[in-house]
Amino acid sequence: MKKIIKEFSDFLKQYNVIGLAVAIIIGGKLNQLVTSFVNDLLMPAIFQPVLTRARIGKIEDLQWHGIFWGKVVSAAIDFLIVAFLVFILVRALNKAAERAKIAAELAAKKIEEKVKK
């Protein structure tokens, strides 16, 4: 039994399952936040004059020949915001990794110089 628990623990560490689970949970909550921002704040503010003129109560009711354009536009804006936030996060992580790499190279050079002296 101890061997199975050890193997399971190694599996969790090797594949970073805990980190992946945390990322999925946070990503889901971020998606809910962005969806609410788009549907409840952004879309009504942008389209309220159009909706009033067309005598439509909600953006979700905006349709043409059976196509619900309000939902499509909301989903597109939602996607663009999430994609942009992911881009900003990945960009920041890449910059931090590059700075860490440069710092490690500088530290290695300093150690090498001290060893030569």
Three-state helix/strand/coil letters over 8-23: HHHHHHHCCHHHHHHH
pLDDT band at 4 (very low <50, low <70, confident <90, very high): very high
Q: What is the pLDDT of residues 7-32, one digit of tens each?
A: 998 888 888 888 889 889 998 998 89
Is the model's pTM score more than 0.75?
A: no
For residue 91, pLDDT beyond 90: yes
Which structure tokens are listed for 100? Answer: 């860490």
Cβ atoms of 22 and 10 within 8 Å: the answer is no
In whole angstroms, give the CA distance from residue 10 to residue 116. 41
Q: What is the pLDDT of residues 30-89, one digit of tens each?
A: 889 998 998 888 887 887 887 788 787 777 777 778 888 878 888 898 899 989 988 998
